[in-house]
A and B are shown apart, each in its own frame.
Chain A
Amino acid sequence: MSPANYDAVVAGGGIVGAACAHELVLSGMRVALVEPSVICGGATAAGMGHLAVMDDSEAQFALTRYSQLLWKELAQRLPVSAEYSASGAIWVAADAEEMAEVDRKHRFYSQRGVPAEILDAQELAEAEPNLRPGLAGGLLLPDDGLVYPPCAARFLMGEAVASGLQIYHGRRVVQVTGNGAQLDDDAFLSATFTVIATGAMAGKMFPAINVQPRKGHLLITDRYPGFLRRQLIELGYLKSAHSLDVDSVAFNVQPRLTGQLLIGSSRQYGSEDPAVDNHILQAMLQRAIEYMPGLAGLSAIRTWTGFRAATPDKLPLIGICPGYENVYLATGHEGLGISTSLATGKILVDQILNRESAISREPYLPERVYALHG
């Protein structure tokens, strides 16, 4: 097979690969994208699609907020199937200790110009009547949005294809060199730049970047329009250790535009088996029912699992892959890759083209992981 020539080849057809390919094509490059399986069928088809702003660190905040604003802009073009809505999210506080965290978050966001509103117990109950009585309150983030990730990502890919993106579907990148990508059918795509957007699988090809799959469970219900109005997440994480290697569950529910409820979430390390683990599912559902007793009687139609690409410091890897020339990483987005995909595409292509970026790129550079591990 004769070698094909591109300016850039992207490995991975999830939402991050789609966003990168989209940005590369718009910058005028000749681009190929390689996806071995169903387009947008990896973590992108498993995740919740909450477009969140987060405050774990300044860097996390900067990336999530930048991306959230990019989503708002994109929303005007998104098709109905992408199910975009800007319905907001509420962080739910169970007690006074968690209310203090609500105050802290509120200050954090207000200082940075992000709309945020404190709800007291009664306002919370009015906002979400199906929450159990007796909760302390919450923080409403009206700019948070929702999306159906596979269709949003496919829309980006579609726009890119219309501008010349070539998709190599059913093929896998088996090796990258400084000048292109070797596919599993022996074809070699020669390219000036290679972008690795293989999600939780990235650690397989580059063990040194220490990206670990972190398993999550979700459940979807039948249609119950009006049962839930906004994405709700518990603030309870404060009370538990911030451990990176202990299995955990949390109350996290999302109203789909179809009227269905998407219930999460769980985090597990060390499992690469996509089967549903009953003990995790049960713990997750028990937690959800504690917060929303009415969930118990709703009809569940499917459960599934997905794998987040976790990094040691909870920040993604966006930039040149240490030890390589012209090979770039766009992975490690853990539980925020839908939210931050658009910003990832922007700052990655900014780097490739030596453009200025809207936010500092420094915190996401992959070389930091090497620094972490000496």
Chain B
Amino acid sequence: MSIETSKAGIVIVGAGPAGIAAAVSAAACGKRVTILDDNPAEGGQIWRGGRAKASTAKAARWFAKLKNSGVTVHASSRLIDANSIACTLRVETANAALTIEYGELILATGARELFLPFPGWTLPNVMGAGGLQGLVKSGLPVKGKRVVVAGSGPLLMAVASQLRKHGAIVPMIVEQANLTSLARFGVSLGGHPGKLWQAITLKASLGSTSYMTGSWVKAAEGEDKVNRIQIQTGSKIRTVDCDYLAVAYGFTPNTELAQLLHCNMKNGFAAVDDYQRTSAQGIFCAGELTGLGGVDLSLVEGEIAGYAASGRDDLARKRFPVRERARQFADGLNRTFSLRPELRALPDSQTIVCRCEDVRYGTLRQADCWRAAKLHHRCGMGPCQGRICGPATQFIFGWKQESVRPPVFPARISSLVLESTYTIEEGVNK
């Protein structure tokens, strides 16, 4: 057991766009900044892979700023526990555990993919779009494979386009939002030339891929892996053959750490004020965990949090208008791609909802809240602690996951054992 202790001024958790922007801004104010992330390289979900693999000019620019900022980056460092009274974070690395004290803390823990259960969603080769994207980046061959991309939101087009670049045949994108709401959103893009351009280029690169709106995957079928899916449009159902199904219904925020630190929540996100301050003393939140909004909103929220945590509210205020524009865009996006109620009715009684513990929809229907589903049926009791089935049951049943307990991620028992100064009488039992 090797346990070290180090001190730091501003500590940032999460090295995605929000965390990087926060780190760069705080460092520019002359602060000592440490950034922690459990991935081997910085970049978060969207810029995964770090500087070496920067895919856009914007990413490259921010990676360069981070490199020149003097910020200490701890990669492969997973936060497993936090204490807002002692102002400490407990971090697990590949072979050690350390306690880090923070002066100010900025949480930029981002979001994870939202998975909605439907019959067949647990079959091999049915994947989260982000997951498949990652596999393709790291070498999964998709050349000549038929891949259907389904779910909701602009990510579908980006994923389809990447898959095609790697030689996949993408017969269709299945978007659950209606054409009318998409059209409305298209008009509102007028004020955002950058986004418009992005949308047009992606569309242009879609070529023979058809874009089905108001449609969703009703079921995936196959023996040992998916080979056929049913797509529903209104009351019509059509069957399509495929080798892979990439599904993306959007994202759900990683609020566990903020909750453990007693930050107030609002509608499932960390609640923050204009300066990205939470209800907890000295703790700020930026990026997707305060509301889903994409890279640009995350970046500017990160900057504001970085400035505010450094005591430079004046600099933070200068970025308010940029954030406001990004927020408006995000609001439009979230409205356009809000999930239709029909998706709640997709699972049948045999559909597995909790993958860790194999709990099926038919069983869960007997429960009346998250805690009952957990205690009586083991839903969410596995290693992922409801990270996947929690948001799914929230969407389907409206259940709330009330509590977060340490460790926030599975951790070695040795990582939880630190020197304790408390004197305890050992050995008293029953």
Contacts and interface: CB of A to CB of B under 8 A. Distances in A.
A299 B412 contact: yes
Given A279-B420, A299-B383, A336 B430 contact: yes
B398 interface: no
B56 interface: no
A240 B428 CA distance: 6
A265 B426 contact: no
Q: State the majority secondary structure of interface residues on B.
A: loop
B375 A150 contact: yes
A237 B427 contact: yes
A373 interface: no
Interface residues of A, number: 58
Interface stretch (A4-12, A114-122, A175-183, A289-297): A289-297
Contacts of B376: 39-40, 81, 150-151, 154
Contacts of B382: 301
Interface of A: 38-41, 45, 52, 54, 56, 81, 150-151, 154, 219, 221-222, 233-234, 236-243, 246-250, 252, 263, 265, 267, 276, 278-283, 285-289, 295-304, 335-336
Given A154-B376, A283-B422, A276 B406 contact: yes
Given A221-B413, A302-B407, 17 more contacts: A40-B375, A41-B372, A45-B375, A219-B416, A222-B410, A237-B430, A240-B426, A247-B424, A248-B428, A265-B429, A285-B416, A296-B412, A297-B412, A298-B413, A300-B410, A300-B412, A301-B385
B427 A297 contact: no
A295 B424 CA distance: 21
Contacts of A221: 413
Contacts of B406: 276, 303
Nearest to B418: A282
A373 to B, nearest CB: 24
Contacts of A279: 420-422, 424
Given A38-B369, A283-B420, A248 B426 contact: yes
Interface string B376-392: 11000111010000000
A279 B414 CA distance: 14
B314 interface: no
Contacts of B410: 222, 299-301
B411 interface: yes
Q: State the majority secondary structure of interface residues on A.
A: mixed
6 closest residue pairs by CB, A with B: A248-B428, A236-B427, A279-B422, A250-B429, A296-B414, A237-B429
Contact of A300 (B416, B420, B422, B426): B416
Nearest to A252: B429
A234 B426 CA distance: 11
A52 B425 contact: no
Nearest to A286: B417
Contacts of B416: 219, 281-282, 285, 300, 303
A56 B411 CA distance: 37
A80 to B, nearest CB: 12
14 contacts: A39-B372, A234-B429, A236-B427, A240-B425, A241-B425, A247-B424, A278-B418, A282-B416, A287-B427, A298-B413, A299-B412, A303-B407, A335-B430, A336-B430
